[in-house]
Structure 1
């Protein structure tokens, strides 16, 4: 099996697209509306990893439900210090880090506009 994409239900498609294209630098490869009030966009990273964003325009208010995401997305970067500078220039708050582990990886955590945790990690090899 091969994982193709991670799906995230978003509050605001435009805001989420800006985040994933400008901050994470993914490219929109497909977007469509399968039915009225539902918008879907697929974005792809340079390594082929994909994220599917789904917006339900007429979704009932679920403000009483926890908005903390249980999804975390790990994204490899070539130069974490450069990414941190880019985030600072775009007023994106770093939630945790930078952290360096004994095996050499360095990483930080940020959040997308929906509360999804994004880990930017340098030196991660499998």
Structure 2
């Protein structure tokens, strides 16, 4: 009987732990970024950085107010991913045609979402696209990091820092 109670307690604890680990419906997150100019940011992230637009959806004025996202302002969302995979992290771009925010020089000079990191097999193609589009490098181009990979730091059109790491 004692062993039966111990086994039941272990099973209950294990089931409880499994439920806590499986609380989320997806294993990735979606990141929403408000751009001052949606077209310019979409071009930067797709044509220069190399993300893929995998979807888009509208949020109407009524829904935006009910959800508390805006005070009734409708908007469209462009969904970007590194790979067109249902489990991939979503980078959602949207715009309210707000003026471009002040661009800071370093990530420690502001709060909120400040940077993203993207990992490439090789940085050669993205470095060439950055140069072809006159995107300023904030790092030495590229910086070699201790693990043998290269690192490049740039900013998107609204000043979000974008770290690029790869061979």
Q: Same fold by TM (over 0.5)? A: yes
The TM-score, its normalising length taken from structure 2, stands at: 0.61
Larger Rg: 2
Indicate which of 7, 21, 33 corresponds to 2:46. 21
Query: Match for 1:88 among 118, 131, 135?
Result: 131
Helix, strand or coil for the counterpart of 1:103? coil
For 1:32, the equivalent position in structure 2 comes to 57
More moved, 113-122 vs 92-101: 92-101
> Among residues 112, 117, 134, which one is paired with 1:74 in the alignment?
117
Distance 1:84 1:67, change over 3 A: closer
Say which structure is richer in strand.
1
Task: Give, in whole Å, the separation in 1 of the partners of 2:164 and 2:146.
Answer: 17
The two structures have a TM-score, normalised by structure 1, of 0.79
**1:118 paired to 2:159:** no
Structure 1 residue runs of 4 or more that deviate by more than 6 Å after TM superposition: none
Unaligned runs of 5+ in 2: 1-23, 62-73, 105-109
- Which residue number in structure 2 is paired with residue 56 of structure 1? 96
Say which SS state the counterpart of residue 130 (structure 2) adopts.
helix
2:117 is paired with a residue of what secondary structure? strand
Higher helix share: 2
Cα-Cα RMSD: 2.3
Asked whether the 8 Å contact 1:39–1:56 carries over to 2, the reply is no
